[in-house]
Amino acid sequence: MVNESGLRFEDECVRHKILDSIGDFSLFGYPIEGHIVADKSGHTTNVKFLKKLMACTECWEIVAEEVENAQYPVLSYSYI
């Protein structure tokens, strides 16, 4: 541990992983409408997945979705 006092929260490592994943997936450039299940993921595996997803253009589409009375493009995907 870097902090001399130890963890600030009991689930701090999990929180860190979740925030890392959110940051990695935000690199796509659009909000993602979907459900992400990750097991032992990290920056490298997240970026590899995003590269595969971006290369498989028939697996996703950009759709307009109304959010708070404004139009935002949203990525909708189905990846197998």
Output the pTM of the full model: 0.65
Tokens of 24: 């990695």
Domain extent at residue 45: 12-77
Note if 16 is an active site residue.
Answer: no
Please report whether residue 4 resides in a domain: no
Please report whether residue 65 resides in a domain: yes
Cα angle value 38/43/46 (rounded, 5°): 45
Give the pLDDT of residue 6: 82
Please report whether residue 2 resides in a domain: no
Residue with tokens 């994943």: 21
How confident is the model over 48-68, as pLDDT tens digits?
988 988 898 888 887 766 556
Please report whether residue 7 resides in a domain: no
Please report whether residue 36 resides in a domain: yes
Question: Total domain count for the chain?
Answer: 1
Q: What type of residue sits at position 60?
A: W
Please report whether residue 40 resides in a domain: yes
Catalytic residue among 16, 43, 48, 52: 43
How confident is the model over 22-31, as pLDDT tens digits?
899 888 777 7
